[in-house]
Amino acid sequence: MALRNLRVDGDELLRRKSRPVADITENVKTLLGDMVDTMKNSKGAGLAAPQVGVLKRLIVIDHEDELFQMINPEIQLEEGSQDAEEACLSIPGMIGTVTRPEKLTVAFTKTDGTRAEMSAEGRLAVIISHEVDHLNGVLYRDKARNFRLRTKEDDEEDD
Ligand code: NI
């Protein structure tokens, strides 16, 4: 288990666009494993590679005891909308309301190199949308209403 240092808001790297992963090397697999460890250690629901300082299109998600590791995720289709509370491991102590698609379809490469497609709705759609935004240098606070300090009444997980 290896933890990586989290980049926080204000770090210019979080604003850059991540590059597609051409080959699933051992380095890439190690990075994904470290991202999972770092996410779980911080009790996050998702993490994108730029948050640990690597500009590669990689995201990990921990949702209802299911773990997703997505290489080169691409959102194909978005439907409907929902308003959800969001937080982010790179913006500690804050929370905000963001409008996201209610449902989406995402295509991605799995660690075994095969391409997969998945549909998601509700909270999982929010997390996927939030993490893919990170790969494009977008932070949830750019889109948030009522961006505010998190209080004890706010128990959302960090994405
Ligand atoms: Ni985030």
Q: What is the pLDDT of residues 84-141, one digit of tens each?
A: 999 999 999 999 999 999 999 999 999 999 999 999 999 999 999 999 999 999 999 9
CB 53 within 8 A of CB 5: yes
Flag whether 147 is in a domain: yes
Flag whether 1 is in a domain: no
Structural domain boundaries, residue 62: 12-158
Q: What is the pTM of this model?
A: 0.95
CA of 87 to the centre of ligand 1 (A): 7
CA of 59 to the centre of ligand 1 (A): 10
Structural domain count of the chain: 1
CB 109 within 8 A of CB 26: no
CA of 117 to the centre of ligand 1 (A): 22
119 φ/ψ angles, rounded to the nearest 5 degrees: -100, 145
Residue of 131, 153, 156, 157 marked active site: 131
Flag whether 119 is in a domain: yes
Flag whether 81 is in a domain: yes
Cite the DSSP H helix spans in 1-117. 26-41
CA of 139 to the centre of ligand 1 (A): 7
**74 belongs to the catalytic site:** no
The enclosing domain of 18 has a CATH number of 3.90.45.10
Instruction: Report pLDDT digits (tens) over 13-23.
Output: 999 999 999 99
| Residue (of 32, 114, 100, 31) closest to 68 by Cα position | 32
Flag whether 45 is in a domain: yes
